[in-house]
């Protein structure tokens, strides 16, 4: 049989693990990061070609008007 101090230490350790929310917080941040990454990837897939064309048009307009 264990002495009361060992029981107290075990109970305190279990209570500490139960109260510790660092792992849950890290998991929430990872889930949030994954959702943001999926959102950005979706936006790039939807608007990527349009934005690329607009930058290409702007580059062409600038290069035709600039003389060296």
Question: What pLDDT score was predicted for residue 8?
Answer: 83
d(CA 25, CA 32): 11
- What's the mean pLDDT when you consider all of the chain? 83
Q: Percent of the chain scored above 90 by pLDDT?
A: 32
The residue whose two tokens read 């600038």 is 62
Question: In whole angstroms, what is the distance from residue 19 CA to residue 21 CA?
Answer: 6
Q: Which long-range contacts (CB under 8 A, 24 or more apart) does 15-19 make?
A: none
Whole-number pLDDT of residue 27: 84
Domain ranges of the chain: 22-68
Q: What average pLDDT does the segment 7-32 reach? A: 78
pLDDT reported for residue 36: 96
Conformational region of residue 59, where left means phi above 0, alpha means psi within -120 to 50, and beta covers everything else: alpha
């Amino acid at each position: 049989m264990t002495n009361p101090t060992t029981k107290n230490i075990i109970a305190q350790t279990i209570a500490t693990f139960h109260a510790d929310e660092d792992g849950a917080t890290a998991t929430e941040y990872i889930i949030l990061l994954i959702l943001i990454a999926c959102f950005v990837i979706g936006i790039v897939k939807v608007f990527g070609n349009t934005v690329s064309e607009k930058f290409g048009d702007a580059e062409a307009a600038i290069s035709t008007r600039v003389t060296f």
